[in-house]
């Protein structure tokens, strides 16, 4: 028996208003996340990963707005929810970790208080009770001496510690879905692994589903069972993580996979240039017609420049949007 | 904290000394002395002998460096000297005028804060809305209006036409006399505070931590109360401190216009009469007030913002 998925996104479109014109910054994005499942979303900067996440938690702000499609969370369409119903979901059942732990916390408020807010907002706790729960929450993200750290201000903590505080905030109410938007990009490599372990362990323990957003394919492959690849506002490929690595279907995905630096490659093959995908993601106002990847694609042909490819199901599960996939 | 205050107080010493030297040099360079200023009205002409005697009496015949030395030695014992005109100690003359000026400055700043800060706040919560547009047009006008013209218009409207308030003077010291000059003086800092508050709120509204607060599921009113107010306060407080000092300086114009018996009008009268000890004393007191207020603001900011260290 298959239970209803936790999150269903169908044909999501996010419009960017520039002057009087509207451009679809994200288009035709559909995916589902089951209870406790982990989905990765990869792509270069400017592909629409972050704004997709912001749309899910209802935090898009001018000039961005949802332009079409549906987002169903636990069977309910979130666009139809009132502002106060949405606030009850936000933080409580869907929460988010941001990229910049340096600026994502209020510099004038002790971190304990910033965690405690969650219990006051969603659990009806008194401030006293909430402060006590905040110490526990800090302990759960493996911050040493949490009873003293709660009184610290963000500037007194390291980047890794701040991100732990962010995780403590995000997981405080035991949400069903955690949106992690590049949670380790701003951190040292050694700290990155610890933070990822933390997210993985805690979400597994609480049965929290995770949407992990990153430009780092290696990280995504490590964390997630399924991976969606975004390019220029479209989901171009979505499959099981190991398939993406073993046999990427979309030329963009193979480009991403090929451009991963390989540890020890130099010893075996000598000094080589790292692979890259030439060119950059076009700005929203200048998305090309046809397949949006065609100007950068090695396999581009006339049909790619004329028609936008539809999502084609793959035998191994998942789909790809490419005219040339086998 | 205490050592911070003591250190800041010690830092004011060289500033006071530099200001004292500057004023001293200025009034040594400009033409005219107290004695000559008495004869310049065209009717009574002082003869040379009287002038020499007066200059000698006030020690004005000494070389500049001797006078400066004496002056600094005097200052070191907190003695501001004696007024040429009234023969009273300068400290007494200033003390008499200090309270009216303080009243005026405090009243005008209270008016500016009470109206300007909420206005800027409301404007920022609906940027581009009609309150925002109107208040910012008002703010630009408020900053550009000359104070003496504004003062005259207020007098005309509220004293002459409506007859609600006395037109000028200190009267019995009641608040009725304070209102018009305080408003005339407070409009410019009000406008500046409204603009600064608006900019500060807008900036913080777009800060990452406010997005975090929203992602927590906080209502906008809680976002404002829990995360916006304190952060805005630091910026607004700094502006208030600077404006307080400016207001004391600009009180000169308004006090003269409303015949307000404060430091400003004392300063203007004393400059005209070349009553140099009073001029020097008044300016020093104004500078000191400015420094003290800004020190107070720094302490307050450090209390609010943990990132600011007492150093």
Give the Cα separation of A240 and B38 in Å (integer).
99
Contacting residues of A for B216, CB less than 8 Å apart:
90-91, 95, 117-118, 121, 169
Q: B253 with B139, same domain?
A: yes
Give the Cα separation of B91 and B109 in Å (integer).
26
Give the Cα separation of B140 and A146 in Å (integer).
50
A106 in contact with B at a CB cutoff of 8 Å? yes
* DSSP label of A77: E
Per the CB < 8 Å rule, is B215 touching A59? yes
pLDDT at A176: 94
Per the CB < 8 Å rule, is A108 touching B216? no
The model's confidence at residue B84, banded by pLDDT at 50, 70 and 90, is: confident
Per the CB < 8 Å rule, is A89 touching B217? yes
Range of the domain at B18: 2-90
Per the CB < 8 Å rule, is A107 touching B209? yes
The model's confidence at residue A10, banded by pLDDT at 50, 70 and 90, is: very high
Q: B174 with B295, same domain?
A: yes
| Residue at token pair 């505070």 | B193
Q: B251 with B167, same domain?
A: yes
Q: Which domains does chain A have, with CATH numbers?
A: 7-108+153-266+274-320 (3.40.50.300)
Asked whether residue B180 is domain-assigned, the answer is yes
Q: What is the mean pLDDT of residues B177-199?
A: 90
ipTM of the complex model: 0.88
Asked whether residue B279 is domain-assigned, the answer is yes
Q: B110 with B86, same domain?
A: no
Q: B23 with B110, same domain?
A: no
The helix (run of H) or strand (run of E) holding residue A180 is strand A177-181
B130 in Cβ contact with B206 (< 8 Å): no
Give A108 to chain B, closest Cα distance, Å. Answer: 6
Helix, strand counts (H, E) of chain A: 12, 12
Q: B72 with B134, same domain?
A: no
Give the Cα separation of B269 and B61 in Å (integer).
23
Of A55-59, A129-133, A232-236, B252-256, the poorest mean pLDDT is in B252-256
Domain boundary among the residues B73, B90, B107 is at: B90
The model's confidence at residue A120, banded by pLDDT at 50, 70 and 90, is: very high
Taking CA atoms, what residue in A is nearest to B302? A108
Domain boundary among the residues B39, B65, B90 is at: B90
DSSP of A232-254, one letter per residue? TTEEEEEEEHHHHHHS--SHHHH
Give the Cα separation of A131 and A149 in Å (integer).
12
Give the Cα separation of A229 and A235 in Å (integer).
6
Per the CB < 8 Å rule, is A106 touching B306? no
pLDDT for B106-163, tens place per residue? Answer: 999 999 999 999 999 889 888 888 888 888 888 888 888 888 888 888 888 887 788 7
DSSP of chain B, one letter per residue? -HHHHHHHHHHHHHHHHHHHHHHHHHHHHSS--HHHHHHTTSSS---HHHHHHHHHHTTTTS-HHHHHHHHHHHHHTT---B-TTT-SBHHHHHHHHHHHHHHHHHHHHHHHHHHHHHHHHHHHHSTTSHHHHHHHHHHHHHHHS-HHHHHHHHIIIIIIIS--S-SSS-TTS-HHHHHHHHHHHHHHHHHHHHHHHHHHHHHHHTSHHHHHHHHTT--HHHIIIIIIHHHHHHHHHHHHHHHHHHHHHHHHHHHHHTT--SHHHHHHHHHHTT-HHHHHHHHHHHHHHHHHHHHHHHHHHHHH-TTS---
Asked whether residue B172 is domain-assigned, the answer is yes
A 10 A CB-CB count for B140 gives: 12
A 10 A CB-CB count for A184 gives: 25
Q: Which of residues 162-181 of A touch B (CB under 8 A)?
A: 166, 169
Tally C-beta pairs within 8 A across A and B: 72
- Decide: helix, strand or coil at residue A111: helix
pLDDT at B35: 66
Asked whether residue B69 is domain-assigned, the answer is yes
What percent of chain A stands above pLDDT 90? Answer: 52
pLDDT at A2: 56
pLDDT at A1: 42
Q: B245 with B156, same domain?
A: yes
Total of domains in chain B? 2
Q: B114 with B74, same domain?
A: no
Taking CA atoms, what residue in B is nearest to A84? B219
- Give me the residue from B218, B222, B231 closest to A108, CB to CB: B231
What percent of chain B stands above pLDDT 70? Answer: 95
Q: What is the mean pLDDT of residues A187-197?
A: 87
- Give me the residue from B217, B222, B227 closest to A92, CB to CB: B217
Give B282 to chain A, closest Cα distance, Å. Answer: 40
User: Which CATH number does the domain housing residue B154 bear?
Assistant: 1.10.3720.10
Query: What does the mean pLDDT of chain A come to?
Result: 89
| Residue at token pair 């630091």 | B234
Q: B78 with B118, same domain?
A: no
In degrees, rounded to 5, the angle at the alpha carbon of residue B241 between the alpha carbons of residues B237 and B246 is 140
Per-residue b or e along A138-176, where b marks 16 or more CB atoms closer than 10 Å to that residue's CB: bbbbebeebeebbebbbeebebbbbbbbbbbbbbbbebb
Give the Cα separation of A28 and A11 in Å (integer).
4
- The residues with which A174 forms a beta bridge, in sequence order, are none
Contacting residues of A for B234, CB less than 8 Å apart:
108
Q: What are phi and psi of A178, to 5 degrees?
A: -115, 125
Q: B283 with B139, same domain?
A: yes
DSSP of A292-318, one letter per residue? TTGGG-TT--HHHHH-PPPPEE-TTSS
Contacting residues of A for B306, CB less than 8 Å apart:
107-108, 153, 155
Q: B85 with B114, same domain?
A: no
Domain boundary among the residues B55, B74, B90 is at: B90
Say what the alpha-carbon torsion angle B139, B109, B268, B72 is, to the nearest 10 degrees: -130
In degrees, rounded to 5, the angle at the alpha carbon of residue B276 between the alpha carbons of residues B271 and B278 is 85
pLDDT at A31 > cutoff 90? yes
Asked whether residue B130 is domain-assigned, the answer is yes
Asked whether residue B182 is domain-assigned, the answer is yes
The model's confidence at residue A156, banded by pLDDT at 50, 70 and 90, is: very high
Q: B68 with B196, same domain?
A: no
Q: Please classify residue B49 by burial: count the beta carbons closer than 10 Å to its beta carbon, then call 0-12 exposed, 13-18 middle and 19+ buried.
A: exposed
pLDDT at B20 > cutoff 70? yes
Asked whether residue B228 is domain-assigned, the answer is yes
Of A190-199, A265-274, B185-194, B235-244, the poorest mean pLDDT is in A265-274
Asked whether residue B139 is domain-assigned, the answer is yes
């Amino acid at each position: 028996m298959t239970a209803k998925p936790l999150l269903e996104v169908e044909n999501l479109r996010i419009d960017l208003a520039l002057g009087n014109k509207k451009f679809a910054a994200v288009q035709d994005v559909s995916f589902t996340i089951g209870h406790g499942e982990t989905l990765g979303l990869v792509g270069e900067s400017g592909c629409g990963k972050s704004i997709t996440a912001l749309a899910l938690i209802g935090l898009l702000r001018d000039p961005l707005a949802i332009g079409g499609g549906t987002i169903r969370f636990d069977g309910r369409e979130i666009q139809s929810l009132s502002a106060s119903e949405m606030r009850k979901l936000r933080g409580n059942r869907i929460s988010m970790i941001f990229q910049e732990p340096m600026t994502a916390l209020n510099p004038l408020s002790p971190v304990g208080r910033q965690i405690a807010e969650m219990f006051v907002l969603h659990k009806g706790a008194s401030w006293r009770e909430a402060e006590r729960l905040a110490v526990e929450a800090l302990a759960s993200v493996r911050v040493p001496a949490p009873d003293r750290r709660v009184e610290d201000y963000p500037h007194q903590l390291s980047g890794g510690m701040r991100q732990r505080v962010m995780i403590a905030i995000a997981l405080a109410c035991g949400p069903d879905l955690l949106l992690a938007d590049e949670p380790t990009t701003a951190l040292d490599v050694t700290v990155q692994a610890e933070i990822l372990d933390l997210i993985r362990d805690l979400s597994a323990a609480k049965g929290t589903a995770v949407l992990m957003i990153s430009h780092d394919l290696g990280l995504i492959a490590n964390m997630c069972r399924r991976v969606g690849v975004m390019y220029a506002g479209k989901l171009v490929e979505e499959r099981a993580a190991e398939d993406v690595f073993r046999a990427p279907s979309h030329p963009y995905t193979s480009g991403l996979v090929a451009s991963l630096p390989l540890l020890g490659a130099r010893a075996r093959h000598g000094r080589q240039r790292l692979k890259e995908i030439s060119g950059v993601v076009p700005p929203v106002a200048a998305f090309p017609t046809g397949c949006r990847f065609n100007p950068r694609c090695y396999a581009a042909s006339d049909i790619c420049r004329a028609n936008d490819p539809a999502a084609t199901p793959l035998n191994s599960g998942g789909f790809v949007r490419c005219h040339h996939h086998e | 904290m205490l050592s911070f205050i003591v250190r800041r107080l010690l830092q004011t010493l060289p500033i006071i000394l530099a200001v004292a030297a500057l004023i001293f040099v200025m009034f040594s360079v400009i033409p005219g002395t107290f004695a000559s200023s008495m004869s310049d009205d065209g009717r009574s002409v002082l003869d040379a002998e009287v002038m020499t005697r007066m200059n000698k009496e006030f020690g004005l015949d000494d070389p500049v460096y001797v006078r400066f030395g004496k002056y600094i030695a005097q200052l070191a014992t907190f003695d501001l000297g004696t007024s040429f005109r009234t023969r009273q100690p300068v400290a007494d003359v200033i003390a008499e005028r200090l309270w009216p000026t303080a009243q005026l400055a405090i009243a005008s700043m209270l008016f500016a804060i009470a109206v300007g800060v909420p206005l800027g706040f409301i404007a920022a919560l609906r940027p581009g809305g009609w309150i925002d547009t109107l208040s910012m047009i008002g703010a630009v006008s408020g900053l550009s209006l000359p104070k003496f013209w504004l003062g005259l218009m207020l007098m005309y409207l509220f004293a002459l036409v409506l007859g609600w308030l006395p037109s000028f003077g200190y009267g019995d010291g009641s608040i009725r006399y304070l209102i018009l000059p305080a408003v005339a003086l407070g409009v410019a800092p009000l406008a500046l505070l409204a603009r600064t508050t608006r900019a500060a709120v807008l900036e913080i509204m777009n800060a990452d931590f406010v997005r975090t607060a929203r992602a927590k599921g906080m209502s906008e009113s809680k976002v404002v109360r829990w995360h916006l107010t304190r952060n805005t306060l630091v910026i607004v407080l700094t502006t208030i401190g600077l404006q307080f000092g400016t207001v004391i300086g600009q009180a000169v114009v308004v006090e003269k216009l409303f015949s307000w018996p404060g430091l400003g009008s004392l300063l203007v009268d004393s400059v005209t009469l070349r009553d140099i000890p009073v001029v020097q004393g008044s300016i020093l007191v104004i500078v000191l007030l400015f420094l003290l207020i800004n020190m107070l603001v720094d302490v307050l900011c450090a209390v609010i913002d943990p990132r600011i260290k007492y150093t």
